[in-house]
């Protein structure tokens, strides 16, 4: 039975809308954790643990979203895992107990990872130009992330915990978006065929996976810790600090749209080397500056550099890109988003927040190193990108 021509369009639009809402809910966690830290007087170590719990949920979701559709279907999978935003943020508003907050952040991460996987399938399988579709989808995510500080700031007028319940309501709206959409059949039929595991033998695949580990760790650490860092070091006031997320994701959204529609990279490998170099230089400068204007400028330049790293790395995988390969790459690369925020919190607990944030220079330099290795490997294998 043929699929009506309107179904791919509806699936693609569902992916865009869901990823927009996920951008608000996922990135708000960086602002929310700062609010929770102040409201509940949380130590740095516990704050880092909460961010790592979210990343752990994100990692597990990448695995579950690859396994469960074959058992219960894609739609039931996202309806099950996608409840995390609604339930998780509601739990954050109920109390400051460590275990409750850890469970809440884990559920938020579970929703974040499952929405990423499912939206990647909905857009990737139902758009004529996969690269443009993926960059457009990530631009919707960046647009949601851009709006989140304004939403949280407006909600704070109702009290410190009001944003948690507003975000919970948005999580419910995201769940309803999937419930009303024609999600599932095309991807599930593809999943029923012969699974190709040949990508596991490719050194380029594993280098790209390690490369993606680095921006995942660096970006999650910046979105999760930078507001706290700017406030505690007195670089920006408490009123202005939350809007650093706006700078980060505003520049990210613009850069991804440029890469999708204006100046698509002619050589993905060379582009990733330049991105890695930019991330290293600008993050180093960000850690050295102590005044407001240079800090915001360097943050914008860092965001400009890191914006295209993940989509470009996926594009560089070429024919290795599939639901199965992404089911391996995303969880493995997602470990960076677990390790780095936790490590920053651990160092900050003992040596201060400035020392903790300096640790994040490691994945920035790692991007440059592994981009060079990927470029060299692709050259030996005579792979074009």
CATH of the domain at 267: 1.20.1250.20
Residue 367 lies in a domain: yes
Question: Where residue 196 falls among pLDDT bands split at 50, 70, 90?
Answer: low
Residue 238 lies in a domain: yes
Candidates 212, 7, 22, 28; CA nearest to 119 is: 22
Residue labelled with tokens 């599930």? 188
Segment 216-240 mean pLDDT: 84
Residue 110 lies in a domain: yes
Q: Which pLDDT does position 240 carry in this prediction?
A: 78
Question: Where residue 111 falls among pLDDT bands split at 50, 70, 90?
Answer: very high
Candidates 204, 215, 256; CA nearest to 365 is: 215
- Copy the structure tokens of residue 336: 């960076």
For residue 167, pLDDT beyond 90: yes
Q: Which pLDDT does position 275 carry in this prediction?
A: 94
Task: Quote the Cα angle for 99-104-109, to 5°.
Answer: 125
**Candidate from 45-54, 124-133, 163-172, 340-349 with smallest mean pLDDT:** 124-133
Segment 96-104 mean pLDDT: 91
For residue 291, pLDDT beyond 60: yes
What is the residue-wise DSSP string for 119-171?
HHHHHHTS-SSHHHHHHHHHHHHHHHHHHHHHHHHHHGGG-TTHHHHHHHHHH
Residue 205 lies in a domain: yes
Q: Which pLDDT does position 187 carry in this prediction?
A: 42
Give the chain's mean pLDDT. Answer: 84
Residue 1 lies in a domain: no
Q: Which pLDDT does position 188 carry in this prediction?
A: 47
Residue 5 lies in a domain: no
Q: Which pLDDT does position 333 carry in this prediction?
A: 85
Distances (CA, A) of 272 to 279, 305, 361, 377: 10, 9, 17, 14
Candidates 218, 24, 25, 29; CA nearest to 105 is: 29
- Copy the structure tokens of residue 37: 């830290």
Q: Determine the Cα–Cα distance for residues 247 and 228; give it in Å rounded to an integer.
A: 15
Give the count of domains, the chain: 1
Alpha helix ranges (H) inside 261-322: 268-288, 292-306, 309-316
Q: Which pLDDT does position 4 carry in this prediction?
A: 55
Question: Where residue 17 falls among pLDDT bands split at 50, 70, 90?
Answer: very high
Q: Determine the Cα–Cα distance for residues 142 and 138; give it in Å rounded to an integer.
A: 6
Residue 353 lies in a domain: yes
Q: Determine the Cα–Cα distance for residues 228 and 242; give it in Å rounded to an integer.
A: 9
Q: Determine the Cα–Cα distance for residues 116 and 123; give it in Å rounded to an integer.
A: 11
Q: Which pLDDT does position 307 carry in this prediction?
A: 87
Q: Which pLDDT does position 128 carry in this prediction?
A: 75
Question: Where residue 321 falls among pLDDT bands split at 50, 70, 90?
Answer: low
43 dihedral zone (left: phi>0; alpha: psi -120 to 50; beta): beta
Question: Where residue 190 falls among pLDDT bands split at 50, 70, 90?
Answer: very low
Segment 237-241 mean pLDDT: 75
Q: Are 271 and 308 in contact (CB under 8 A)?
A: yes
- Copy the structure tokens of residue 272: 């990733």
Cα torsion 304, 256, 116, 88 to 10°: value is 50
Residue 3 lies in a domain: no
257: burial class by Cβ within 10 Å (0-12, 13-18, 19+)?
A: middle
Tell me, what DSSP letter sits at residue 193? S
Structural domain for 336, as ranges: 10-189+196-381
Cα torsion 336, 26, 350, 297 to 10°: value is 90
């Amino acid at each position: 039975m043929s699929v009506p021509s309107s179904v791919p369009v509806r699936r693609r639009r569902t992916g865009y809308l869901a990823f927009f809402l996920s951008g608000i809910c996922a990135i708000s966690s960086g602002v929310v954790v700062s609010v929770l830290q102040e409201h509940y007087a949380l130590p740095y170590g516990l704050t880092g643990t909460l961010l790592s719990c979210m990343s752990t949920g994100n990692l597990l979701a990448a695995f579950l979203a690859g396994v469960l559709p074959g058992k219960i279907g894609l739609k039931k999978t996202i309806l099950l895992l996608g409840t995390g935003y609604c339930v998780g943020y509601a739990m954050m508003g109920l109390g400051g107990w460590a275990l409750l907050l850890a469970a809440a952040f884990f559920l938020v991460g579970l929703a974040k990872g499952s929405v990423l996987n499912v939206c990647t399938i909905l857009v990737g399988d139902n758009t004529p130009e996969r690269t443009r579709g993926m960059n457009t989808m990530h631009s919707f995510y960046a647009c949601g992330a851009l709006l989140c500080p304004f939403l949280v700031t407006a909600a704070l007028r109702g009290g410190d915990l009001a944003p948690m319940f507003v975000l919970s309501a948005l999580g419910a709206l995201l769940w309803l978006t999937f419930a009303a959409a024609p999600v599932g059949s095309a991807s599930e039929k593809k999943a029923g065929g012969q699974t190709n595991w040949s990508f596991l033998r490719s050194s380029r695949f594993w280098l790209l996976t390690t490369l993606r580990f680095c921006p995942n760790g660096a970006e999650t650490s910046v979105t999760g810790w930078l507001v706290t860092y700017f406030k505690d070091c007195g670089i920006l006031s408490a009123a202005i600090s939350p809007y650093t997320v706006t700078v980060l994701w505003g520049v990210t959204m613009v850069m991804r749209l440029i890469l999708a529609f204006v100046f698509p990279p002619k050589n993905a490998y060379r582009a990733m080397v330049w991105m890695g170099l930019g991330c290293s230089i600008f993050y180093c400068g960000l850690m050295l500056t102590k005044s407001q204007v240079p800090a915001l400028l360097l943050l914008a330049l860092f965001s400009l550099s890191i914006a295209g790293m993940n989509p470009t790395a996926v594009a560089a995988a070429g024919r290795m890109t599939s639901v199965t390969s992404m089911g391996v790459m995303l969880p493995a690369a997602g470990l960076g988003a677990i390790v780095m925020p936790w490590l920053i919190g651990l160092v900050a607990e003992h040596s201060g927040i400035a020392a903790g944030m300096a640790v994040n220079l490691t994945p920035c330099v790692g991007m440059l190193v592994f981009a060079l290795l990927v470029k060299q490997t692709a050259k030996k294998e005579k792979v074009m990108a």
